[in-house]
Structure 1
Amino acid sequence: MASASVPALPSHIKAWVYSEYGKSSDILKFDTNVPLPEIKEDQVLIKVEAAALNPIDYRRCGGFLKDTDSPLPTAPGHDVAGVVAKVGSQVKKFKVGDEVYGDINEHALNYPKVIGSLAEYTTAEEKLLAHKPPNLSFVEAAAIPLAIETAYEGFERAGFSAGKSILVLGGAGGVGTYVIQLAKHVFGASKIAATSSTKKLELLRNLGADLPIDYTKEKFEELPEKFDLVYDTVGGEELERAFKAVKEGGKVVTIVPPGKPPAIMFILTSTGSTLEKLSPYLESGKVKPVLDPKTPFPFSQTVEAFSFLETYRATGKVVVYPIP
């Protein structure tokens, strides 16, 4: 018996899809007749409530993953928060009606789901999901997975530990806002510096940065002090300059391809276990999602949400909600 709160599953759903590569505003089309995605034994079907956008979504639209992409047409979207509508035969952790969240693509660059989270329903492997913290709304939960898991993996790869100092490049962005908070509350950094534009310095302070740096007025590499870890979320010439801000024996981590040795460049491997590990910090409110003031964008304005993210001016995360 299906639970009363979960309606019968439709055969077709609404989704934003594209059939060719190009600029998101040119290629994304609203499709009301997409077949409901089928689940494998280790997957759940999720009724999507909210989806967050990430730079990988518009890069993928632009053909960045051409060689390892799923077949077109495809619906983009990695981050999801929603309700379990159906479970595969091997799924143990979730049941129909559970509120879940996660990044639905284990390896962002390798064959992402054909129907991503910008659809009424999507699928994800059980291991990529976690139970949504009850204190968070669907909008807040959607803003967490890819960015916080990326932030966390960077610390792990750098072998960061309590008492070390960190400089975060792009501290007000989707990943940067979590890097600052994890440095402070989870990893016990001795000092946290972070860069942003003038009007976002107060946000950096509120998130836990001891030294907010206005990149329009100061060059971080000219600071007298150097750092154990420089965490770069910006790339390009910022990464070049990062090497001058690190202590001897320190590390530089970057999440922006192509990276440059000796920086540690990585692309996230999504896992629900990181969300479970960080759940106490999210439930206590020590670590919070930062939502751009323009968020959420309604589902009908998904193209506008993409265009806004592509300006590089978003503070924290951009979320689409409600999804019908």
Structure 2
Amino acid sequence: MKAMMINKYGKNELLHMKEIEKPSVGANDVLVEIHAASVNPIDFKIRNGGALRLVLKFNMPLILGNDFAGKIVEIGSNVRKFKVGDYVYGRPSKERIGTFAEYISIHQDEIALMPNGLTFEEAASIPLVGLTVWQAFHEYFHLKEGQKILIHAGAGGVGSFAIQLAKEMGAYVATTASENGYELVQTLGADKVINYRKENFEEVLDGYDAVFDTLGGPSLEKSFEILKPGGKIVSISAVPTKKFAEQTYQGLMKKTLFMLISNKLMRMAKKHQVEYDFLLMRPNGEQLEQITHLIEEGKIKPVIDRIYDLEEAQGAMNYLETGRAKGKVIIKVK
């Protein structure tokens, strides 16, 4: 099969095409012929190495890509939920990433049937961002009707899904966007839009229950100022915490390291009487099924910016890294 791979970590490392063997299929696995995959910030963060290697470490060479949509062409002996010919989508576990390729072998618990009415490209845009937002809103925020949430970068891949789910859950949604993303986030249902090039969100928002951080850095630190006591920030872009290390069964050394690097944020949380958590989503086919229902009911719609061919995966990565994408960037494989 064809696959787009990297040979080593590094910001300047380029994806290249290589012919390799199809992956083997275990008893609980299915082999999927990939029709489309999406590009996510975690792809270039994995390529870069850096701090993410403290949480995710891979053997090289490595096929990039973290979610997909396609057709099952083979099933393992213990697979009962799916059959050959099913159209599915999913997010593989961190040990088995590699969706910038023609095939992937994936555990049956990490996929779901594709939503009716979606193209492969539309379906591929959902799994990683959908599960990330679902877990943040249901497992961390426990978001309730009438609560107020700030979603950073609402026009991005994660943000565009997050606005829709937050509105479906009955929340009041504020988001940050540029002029180019203003119309999109309004269409998705945002109640208040802050043009981050003209306004400082921390000066116009106050008394919020939750902040969903997709940016890290100064935006995250300023977010503490808008929360009411008892509020919560969940970040997918900042640094992990000791709590995260405990939840993911890390050793003492990483628990200590994460405690040290998150110390500034934890002190800010204590000062403002709020909570701070770091989220690294996990694959979950059952949660993906719940997302499927929302899509089929018309409550959440895929948002796609551009589609590239597999051979153009490097260009897709380059475009996503500019930060200008509105919605998801997709790679068409077949």
TM-score by length of 1: 0.89
**Inter-partner Cα distance in structure 2 for 1:279 and 1:72:** 34
Secondary structure of the structure 1 residue equivalent to 2:44: helix
In structure 1, what is the equivalent of residue 111 of structure 2? 129
Task: Spell out, residue by residue over 1:206-243, the C-alpha distance to the aligned partner (whole angstroms, 9 max, x if none).
Answer: 00101111000111111153211111111111000000
The one-letter amino acid paired with 2:122 is: E
Unaligned segments of structure 1, at least 5 residues = 1-12
Equivalence for 2:292: 279
Shift of 1:48: 0.3
Q: Identify the match of residue 206 of structure 1 among 187, 191, 199.
A: 187
Per-residue deviation, residues 144-166 of structure 1 (Å, max 9, x unmatched): 00001101111121121112111
Native 8 Å contact 1:281 1:287 kept in 2: yes
Q: Which amino acid aligns with 1:125?
A: H
User: Which amino acid in 2 is paired with 1:164?
Assistant: Q
Match for residue 303 of structure 1 among 286, 311, 314: 314
Q: Which residue of 2 aligns with 1:10?
A: none
1:8 match: none
Q: Distance in 2 between matches of 1:112 and 1:48?
A: 14
State the SS of the aligned residue for 1:297.
strand
Q: Which amino acid aligns with 1:44?
A: V
Aligned residues: 299
Higher mean alpha-carbon deviation, 78-87 vs 162-171, is at: 162-171
**Contact persistence 1:166–1:228 (CA under 8 A):** yes
Q: Quick check: 2:29–2:108 contact (8 Å CA) kept in 1?
A: yes
- Whichever residue aligns with residue 61 of structure 1, its letter is R
Aligned residue runs from structure 1 range 132-171, under 5 A: 132-156=114-138, 157-171=140-154
Q: Structure 2 matches for 1:66-81, cutoff 5 A?
A: 66=53, 68-81=56-69
- Closer, same or farther in 2 for the Cα pair 1:66/1:253, shift >3 Å? closer
Verify the 8 A CA contact 2:89 2:123 in the aligned structure 1. yes
> In structure 1, how many angstroms separate the alpha carbons of the residues matched to 2:162 and 2:45?
22
Decide whether aligned partners of structure 1 residues 96 and 172 sit closer, same or farther in structure 2, where only a CA change above 3 A counts: same
For the aligned residue pairs, the C-alpha RMSD in angstroms reads 1.4
2:247 is the counterpart of 1:264: no
Partner Cα distance (1:103, 1:44) in 2: 13
Q: Residue 248 of structure 1: SS of its match in structure 2?
A: strand
Q: Which moved more, 1:157-166 or 1:96-105?
A: 157-166
Residue identity opposite 1:102 in structure 2: G
Displacement of 1:112: 4.0
The 8 Å contact of residues 32 and 74 in structure 2, kept in 1 or not, is answered as yes
Give the secondary-structure state (helix, strand or coil) at the position aligned to 1:35: coil
Task: Summarize the alignment of residues 234-245 of structure 1 with structure 2, pairs less than 5 Å apart.
Answer: 234-245=215-226
Separation of aligned partners in 2, 1:224 and 1:70: 41
Asked whether the 8 Å contact 2:217–2:238 carries over to 1, the reply is: no
Structure 2: distance between partners of 1:309 and 1:199: 15
d(CA) in 1 for partners of 2:288, 2:87: 14
**Identical pairs, percent:** 39
Q: Is the 8 A contact 2:215 2:238 kept in 1?
A: no
Return the structure number with greater helix share: 2
Aligned partner (choices 14, 26, 32) of residue 27 of structure 1: 14
Deviations 1:167-189 (A, max 9, x none): 1111111111111100111x111
Deviations 1:230-271 (A, max 9, x none): 111111110000001111221111111316333211100111
Instruction: Specify every segment of 5 or more residues in structure 2 that has no aligned partner in the other structure, as ranges.
Output: 241-264, 270-275
Q: 3-state SS of the aligned residue for 1:44?
A: strand
Take 1:224 and 1:14, find their aligned partners in 2: how far apart are those partners?
A: 49
Instruction: Please list, as runs of the form range in 1=range in 2, the aligned pairs for 1:1-324 lying within 5 A after superposition.
Output: 13-23=1-11, 26-31=13-18, 33-64=19-50, 65-66=52-53, 68-105=56-93, 108=94, 111-113=95-97, 116-156=98-138, 157-185=140-168, 187-189=169-171, 191-223=172-204, 225-258=206-239, 260-261=265-266, 262=269, 263-292=276-305, 295-321=306-332, 323-324=333-334
User: 1:27 is matched by which residue type in structure 2?
Assistant: L
